[in-house]
Amino acid sequence: MKTYDFDQIINRKGTDCIKYDAMEKFWGTSDAFPMWVADMDFKTPDFIIDALKKRLEHEILGYGFKSERHFTSIKNWLDKRHNFNVNKDQISSSPGVVTGFSMAIQQFTNPGDEIIVQPPVYFPFFKTVKNAGRTVVYNPLKISEGKITMDFDDLEKKISSKTQMILLCNPHNPGGRAWTLPELQQLDTIAQKHNLLVISDEIHADILLNGNKFYSYASVSEYAAQNSIIFGAPSKTFNIAGLSTSFVIAKNPEILKKYNKILELNHLAKGNILGNIALTAAYENGSDWLDQLIEYLEGNLNLITNFFQENMPEVKVYRPDASFLVWLDFNDWGLSPKKLHQFFVKQAKIIINPGYVFGPGGEGFMRMNFALPRKKLEWALGEMNKAAKQIKNL
């Protein structure tokens, strides 16, 4: 088995990547270290790069389509990694998960309908609902016994006759929870009771840490299978977000047909040649690489946990079940959300996402990306610690 090197430091500046080259635009500084955008600072694996190079040897990039291998690779990957069984005729596509969410919202709800969102959560969830002229209904997550959980009592209270859909993030971003089977079953019970369609973002499902398990929402029950749309992608797992290729699972043929109608309406069904090739290469060859990536990420996460315990014990670290994003609670510092954000930008010079952008409940938190070489992570944490010592009464 080949051993992969995740310690290699690669200069990404000047490649038109958002994380490094757009800091000035988003944060007003280019003099900081970026740990915000949810892509990795590791090389895209060689089996993907080699597949792309081979295709580029044929110097015509005309119209293409998704091959039989494309669908088979998705089916086999989901079966092997997650014990989630799908058929080819249940698979569709989208350029990205957020794009797919937007199309699903437009196709399965009407202006003025209510859509449940569970903050703090990935902020495009709010935008896609609002931009489509639908009404966001917040069902905030809560912290129970030191763990992020769903608030099912609040969810029941928030549902009205206008509520048509729930947007689920599984595994959760930014909190990192891979929702357990009992939690998803409880959500399914409520969805059945109120006849709600569940749209599930499962893009972080592959990156399961410390032996945690993932359950696709569509695998919870027959109702869930027939009343959900699942969005996944190889983009987070294999660091190919720039190739804009995601897959969609809908086990209900009528739902899939209706989704495909808006996909065709927007002329998005074919995808792009290189994205299709990258997905197939990833899912056919990626198991060993992913296992090694997970082991490396677990080491990084342990480093982060130990760092805060030793240097800033007042900061609560919510260890993720999945993903390479960690949710940090700085509320004991007593800073306003904006002052906390300014501390990282101006004093620590580390760019991480302020929690308030993820909606209600995110105030006083920060989301940090730890998918980077360990030496860079150690350096960044050291810089953070030096800056933190300047805060009085810390």
Tell me: the pLDDT tens digits for 44-80? 999 999 999 999 999 999 999 999 999 999 999 999 9
Same fold, 18-45+287-387 and 61-285: no
In CATH terms, is domain 18-45+287-387 a member of 3.90.1150.10? yes
Q: Where are the domains of the chain?
A: 18-45+287-387, 61-285
Q: What's the alpha-carbon Rg for the chain, to the nearest Å?
A: 21
Residue 393 above 60 pLDDT? no
Q: How confident is the model at residue 390 (pLDDT cuts 50, 70, 90)?
A: confident
Q: Which strands make up the sheet holding 316-318, listed edge to edge?
A: 316-318, 325-329, 365-369, 353-354
Residue carrying structure tokens 């998918």: 371
CB distance 160 to 191 below 8 Å: no
CB distance 251 to 218 below 8 Å: yes
Helix axes 97-108, 253-265, angle to 10 degrees: 110
Question: Which stretches of 85-232 are DSSP H helices?
Answer: 97-108, 124-131, 152-158, 181-194, 222-226
Could you tell me the pTM of the whole model? 0.96
pLDDT at 1: 84
Bridge partners, residue 354, by sequence: 366
Residue 118, exposed/middle/buried by CB under 10 A (0-12, 13-18, 19+)?
Answer: buried
CB distance 233 to 221 below 8 Å: no
User: Phi, psi (5° rounding) for residue 348?
Assistant: -75, -30
Could you tell me which of 346, 385, 276, 367 has the C-alpha nearest to residue 37?
Answer: 367
**Residues 261, 264, 267: CA angle, nearest 5 degrees:** 155
Q: How confident is the model at residue 394 (pLDDT cuts 50, 70, 90)?
A: very low
Q: Is 109 helix (H, G, I), strand (E, B) or coil?
A: coil
Q: Which fold has domain 61-285?
A: Aspartate Aminotransferase; domain 2 (3.40.640)
| Tokens representing residue 342 in the block | 């300014």
